[in-house]
Amino acid sequence: MEPEKMDENEWNYHGEGNKSLVVSHAQSCVVLRFLKFLPNINKSTEEVYQHLHNILDFGKHIMKQFLGENYVHHGEVVQLPLDFLKRLCLKVQSERPESRCEKEMDVSGYAMCLPNLTRLQTFPFLECRPIFCIEIKPKCGFIPSSAHITKEIKKKVCRFCMHQHLKVAKGKWKRISKYCPLDLFSGNKPRMHFALMNLLQESQNNLKVFKNGELIYGCRDDQEHFLDLNELAHHLKPFFFPASGLISGPQCPKTVVKELIHMLTSVLLNNSTDTARAANIMPIIPLSQGRNYCEASHFCPHLLNSKHATETTGLPTGCILYKTLQTQMLDMLDIEGLNPLYKRVEKYLAEFPEERSTLLLDGPYDETFFEKLKDLSLEDDGSVSYAVTKIQQYRVAMTAKDCSIMIALSPAVQEQCLDPWSVIRSSQSSFIHSVSILDLDLKPYENIPHQYKRDSKIVNHYLKSIKVQE
């Protein structure tokens, strides 16, 4: 990226979350990811630079170990000319959804440069090929079983399903989604199909579809869908059912959507050859620890009662869902068990503020930090060190509960000699695909009390709303 040649006209608004705003380059396959701050928060250039470096290190040295080398792109920190940033900021402002404008794009001079994951990563030389990308934000895929939990309902209904009630009551979404993360993470194909169908029908901010890098389906935050499912099927049809000649096949939208769901399921269950180091050196957390279904799930209950559907997870250990779930499960105490440990550390820091850096609360996110995460012991010896380890594991788990999985698919051409892992077949065509995970920022230490309050708010609201329904 040559600073003197930066032209805002070559960059387009791509999307944003709560913490960052993303613009994509019109031709080359890269995006710039900027931090966002509330207008009254004045961060120095140095602070922004440090923050971005922390994000980079965390992806590179920590999340890669958990999720696998090939799935994580840590990117690089780049410095950009201030006049370019000012013009870019003005340019994208009109495209931002109103609900996200509370925070402003940071224009202090640094951003993260990342590959554009809505385009195919595996085969950059196939750029001219049409490409679809499905982004799934799966959220937490297990029910906690921690002994510290005080509300029984948390051991029966998953966080996502409970949270839906509060979100609808607050007006964030119009309808309750029938998606339940436990169905997606079940490894059971009918349940996964059900989960994906519900994500497509009520996508909220958990599913987006990009065509050639452009968002074509999914809520842009609180705005309505860009397309309905039939229109999405119309876009997808030539991919799954390539026309012989000019007339495309007779498949109805439902068939096309089903084909997409099948394809996504195969990709999500695909056993990657890539090894996440943590999988080899960390004791695997037993997936059968808690229950593996959620009582609020809309998946047909009589199927759930059958032995087949409640069997321990069918997730292959190399697949992206398994790795994500294992990382999420580093939250072993639940926020209720964690909050007292946070208080323990806070008390200690009040007495010895200079110890903050020795405890590695704010990094550096390196080998040493990673080594400490491997201690899964739950025997609390009352020490600050135990508390810090659990807090850090919780923060890593929270990151994995909030990340997005990007699945890019592009039609394969027969004569190409491709790595067998990258080709995936649907009933009438084959695709090359790539899978990546994004949004892997470490959640702030200071967030813990807020998380604790939020948890009880969600649970209390859920209990109230199901009582009303009864």
Cα-Cα-Cα-Cα dihedral sign, residues 119, 124, 126, 127: positive
Determine the residue with CB nearest ligand ATP. Answer: 17
The smaller minimum CB distance to ligand ATP, of residues 388 and 438, is found at 438
Of the listed pieces 11-19, 173-181, 269-277, 410-418, which binds ligand ATP according to CB under 6 A?
11-19
Determine which residue in the list 6, 23, 33, 432 makes contact with ligand ATP, applying CB under 6 A: 33
Nearer to ligand ATP among residue 106 and residue 259 (C-beta): 106
- Single out the residue of 223, 222, 254, 228 nearest to residue 241, CA to CA: 254
Task: Give residues 172-191 in contact with Zn ion (rule: CB under 5 A).
Answer: 180
Token pair 């199909």 in the structure block, residue = 193
17 near Mg ion (CB under 5 A) = yes
Q: Does 135 bind ligand ATP (CB under 6 A)?
A: yes
Asked if 114 touches ligand ATP (CB under 6 A), the answer is: yes
Joined tokens for residue 25: 């380059």
By CB under 5 A, residue 236 contacts Zn ion: no
Q: How far apart are CA 17 and CA 328, in angstroms?
A: 20
Q: Which stretch binds Mg ion (CB under 5 A): 10-18, 252-260, 378-386, 429-437?
A: 10-18
The distance of closest approach from Cβ of residue 179 to Zn ion in the complex, given in angstroms and rounded to an integer, is: 8
In the list Mg ion, Zn ion, ligand ATP, none, the entry touching 22 (Cβ below 5 to 8 angstroms by class) is: ligand ATP
Q: For residues 73 and 51, give the distance between their C-alpha atoms in angstroms, rounded to a whole number.
A: 17
* Residue recorded with tokens 């594991």: 393
Other beta carbons less than 10 A from residue 415's beta carbon: 5
Closer residue to Mg ion, CB minimum distance, 33 or 323? 33
Give the nearer residue to ligand ATP in terms of CB position, either 100 or 461: 100
Measured from the CB atom, is 67 or 256 closer to Mg ion?
67
Binding mask 431-450 for Mg ion (x = CB under 5 A): --------x-x---------
Q: Which does 33 bind (CB under 5 to 8 A by kind): ligand ATP, Mg ion, Zn ion, none?
A: ligand ATP
Nearest in space to 214 (alpha carbons), one of 15, 55, 384: 15
By the rule CB under 6 A, 356 interacts with ligand ATP = no
Contact partner at residue 117 from ligand ATP, Zn ion, Mg ion, none, CB < 5 to 8 Å by partner kind:
ligand ATP
Question: Taking the alpha carbons of 425, 426, 428, 430 in that order, is the dihedral positive or negative?
Answer: negative
Binding to ligand ATP (CB under 6 A) within 402-441 occurs at 402, 404, 438-439, 441
Enumerate residues 6+ apart whose C-beta is below 8 A from 223: 97
CB of 321 to ligand ATP, least distance (A): 18
Q: Which residue bears the tokens 């607050």?
A: 170
Q: What angle separates helix 253-269 from helix 229-240, to the nearest 10 degrees? A: 70
- Least distance from ligand ATP to the Cβ atom of residue 424, Å: 21
Rg, the chain, Cα only:
22
Minimum separation from the CB atom of position 269 to ligand ATP (A):
23
145 CB-side CA count, 13 A: 14
Q: Which does 455 bind (CB under 5 to 8 A by kind): Zn ion, ligand ATP, Mg ion, none?
A: none
HSE-up of residue 269 (Cα within 13 Å, Cβ side) = 19
Q: Which residue is nearest to Zn ion (CB)?
A: 294
Q: Is the dihedral of CA 432, 246, 256, 226 positive or negative?
A: positive
Q: How far is CA 410 from CA 94, 132, 133, in A?
A: 31, 6, 9
What DSSP element (H or E) covers 211?
strand 207-211
> Which DSSP letter does residue 333 get?
S
The binder of ligand ATP chosen from 17, 109, 249, 363 (CB under 6 A): 17
Q: Which residues are registered as beta bridge partners of 436?
A: 406
Q: Which residues bind ligand ATP (CB under 6 A)?
A: 14-20, 22, 31, 33, 114, 116-118, 135, 208, 402, 404, 438-439, 441
Per CB under 5 A, residues contacting Mg ion are 17, 19, 439, 441
